């Protein structure tokens, strides 16, 4: 009997150690660190790991268009922009975890950067407003920085935002950091309100995704390029030519 008790205690201790080791990974399961984790989640053909289906417990009033803008205002109010750590440079937070980090009614209680804002807004549009998957998605690409860019050529940065195809009036872009301000075209079409040369220009649409599909992806989903095999014949020929 004593041996059985000791065996049970040992079994519980081992189980506890295993769970202690596993729990941190479960806690971070909704955060994807770097493209080595982000890429496989998108290559399966949908972004359901990021745009998570759940009851967000929010209700917005008005037409569908008004509800989407209200959701954008909700995200802008409750989140504060925070750069991703470098390395890895990109950390994507799933919408359910991002939502759980927010305290309703407390301004800036959640943090994230452009794709975190966009992922949460897309999820709210899909599951709190009810916009079909063919009419709202996260779009990511490169933005050319015209002013204040570091000494780099070309001065490009990655950026993400939400594309919403309204029931009427066509397609709008929404920057969740700005709230419910829909616009068409690239940054200059909205920043001209400041009567100065816009600091950004030329958004590209390299990658688009939501909980049901992924389109495009470019070099992000293609992964790092492998160096071509070394051709010793070319090296030898070059060396002989140089020695002449």
Average pLDDT over residues 97-114: 96
Average pLDDT over residues 147-152: 56
Q: In the prediction, which pLDDT does 12 show?
A: 41
Average pLDDT over residues 191-207: 54
pLDDT band with cut points at 50, 70 and 90 for residue 203: low
Please state, rounded to an integer, the average pLDDT across all residues of the chain.
77
Q: In the prediction, which pLDDT does 94 show?
A: 97
pLDDT at position 20 over 80: no
Q: In the prediction, which pLDDT does 239 show?
A: 42
- Sorted by sequence, the CB contacts under 8 Å of residue 74 that are 6+ apart come out as 58, 60, 124
Task: Name the H helices within the chain.
Answer: 2-27, 35-43, 64-78, 95-101, 114-124, 188-191, 218-222, 232-243
pLDDT at position 193 over 60: no
pLDDT at position 119 over 70: yes
Q: In the prediction, which pLDDT does 50 show?
A: 97
Q: In the prediction, which pLDDT does 240 show?
A: 47
Q: In the prediction, which pLDDT does 159 show?
A: 84
pLDDT at position 25 over 70: no
Q: In the prediction, which pLDDT does 11 show?
A: 46
Count Cβ atoms below 10 Å from residue 5 Cβ, excluding itself.
9
Place of tokens 């030329």: 202
Predicted structure pTM score: 0.75
**Residues in a beta bridge with 158:** 142
Q: Domain 34-224 falls in which CATH fold? A: C8orf32 fold (3.10.620)
pLDDT band with cut points at 50, 70 and 90 for residue 185: low
Q: In the prediction, which pLDDT does 15 show?
A: 35
pLDDT at position 172 over 80: yes
> 36-84 pLDDT, tens per residue?
999 999 999 999 999 999 999 999 999 999 999 999 999 999 999 999 8
Q: In the prediction, which pLDDT does 184 show?
A: 80
Residue (of 212, 189, 184) closest to 201 by Cα position: 189
Higher pLDDT, 184 or 185: 184
């Amino acid at each position: 009997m004593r041996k059985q008790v000791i065996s049970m205690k040992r079994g519980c201790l081992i189980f506890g150690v295993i769970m202690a080791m596993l729990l941190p990974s479960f806690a971070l399961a909704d955060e994807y660190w770097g493209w080595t984790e982000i890429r496989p989640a998108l290559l399966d053909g949908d972004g359901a790991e990021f745009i998570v289906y759940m009851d967000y417990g929010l209700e917005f009033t008005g037409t569908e268009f008004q509800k989407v803008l209200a959701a954008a205002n909700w995200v802008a109010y409750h989140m504060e922009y925070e750069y991703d750590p470098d390395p890895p440079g990109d950390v994507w937070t799933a919408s359910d975890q991002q939502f759980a980090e927010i305290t309703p009614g407390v301004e800036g209680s959640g943090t994230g950067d452009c794709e975190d804002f966009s992922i949460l807004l897309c999820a709210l549009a899909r599951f709190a407003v009810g916009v079909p998957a063919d009419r709202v998605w996260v779009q990511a690409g490169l933005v050319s920085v015209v002013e204040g860019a570091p000494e780099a050529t070309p001065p490009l940065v990655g950026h993400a935002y939400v594309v919403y195809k309204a029931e009427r009036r066509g397609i709008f872009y929404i920057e969740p950091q700005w709230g419910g301000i829909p616009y068409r075209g690239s940054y200059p079409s909205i920043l001209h309100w400041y009567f100065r040369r816009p600091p950004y220009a030329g958004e590209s649409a390299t990658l688009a995704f939501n909980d049901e599909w992924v389109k495009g992806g470019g070099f992000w989903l293609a992964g790092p390029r492998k160096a071509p095999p070394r051709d010793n014949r070319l090296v030898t020929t070059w060396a002989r030519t140089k020695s002449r």
